[in-house]
Structure 1
Amino acid sequence: MSIRQAWPEEAPVLAAIVERAYAPWVPVIGRRPMPMEDDYPGRIAAGEAWVLEEAGAPVALVVIEQHPDHLLLDNIAVDPARQGRGEGQMLLDFVEAEAARRGLPEVRLYTNILMERNIALYARRGYAETGREVQKGFSRVFMAKPVSGSAATAPR
């Protein structure tokens, strides 16, 4: 298994993985989560979509956005048939390492307030809650985690 940037022809595959991964959350939050409506061709063109592949086929994905002072983890999705195998953890490791590689001091993310399982998972990974806010009709929990090895966190 390896992680690489997504290819343009994979946009429908990414959208399908996200559709399957987020479908259980629709009844919980009462509407389709934002990742289900994302522009995957645009994300791929911007270099923001990365896939975890096995035997040349994407099985999970992560969407990241670079900002001046952090890397935003916008979306992470693992095909439900593959959940529980550590693939999400592999992608989180990648995102944190990528932030450090880019010299950014932290990874930030947000998730729906009703996605309690995800909030707990991120907290176990060392992400701390930084706030709560309603945006675009979604009640969101914002979290951040410092990364080691970045120029901004390295001792001087």
Structure 2
Amino acid sequence: MLVTACGSDKPADGVASAGGASVASTSASASQSGDGRQYAQCMRDHGVDIPDPDPNGQMGDLAKIDRDSQAFKTAAEACQKFLPYGGDLSKIDSKMLDQLRGFTQCLRDHGMDVPDPDPNSPSLGLDQMKNIDRDNPAVQKAFKACKDKIPGRPGQ
């Protein structure tokens, strides 16, 4: 799971949250890959109902979660240690960063205005994606078209 900004057909899925964006597949304190099941359980233990990841590491539909709520912010901070690279995406490896650049380029090719990842930012600058209208059919279409480019997917 890498950017909860990117994990299923809708933005902000598949990756937990780092500064409003989402990440999955890496944790500094635990390991590079993080632990999606522990993250999901921790979030539920802190009052945020999110599903366990599927066998491909995707978190499913997280579009209904209010990432601006105090409950989410508190839970995300408490559970950050289970995220890839401990939620600090600035520590992401170069292969994953290249994959992420391919994903954001694909989104732009499909009409979305998203930034390239910034390796000097703890959230890679992807926190800007938290305000994407996940209900917009054009956004859903772009994410669906680019889902095979989501970093951290098996086979990449």
Task: Return the structure number with greater relative CO, CA threshold 8 A, min gap 6.
Answer: 2
Decide which structure has greater strand share. Answer: 1
Decide which structure has greater helix share. Answer: 2
**Which TM-score applies when normalising by structure 2?**
0.29
**Which TM-score applies when normalising by structure 1?**
0.29
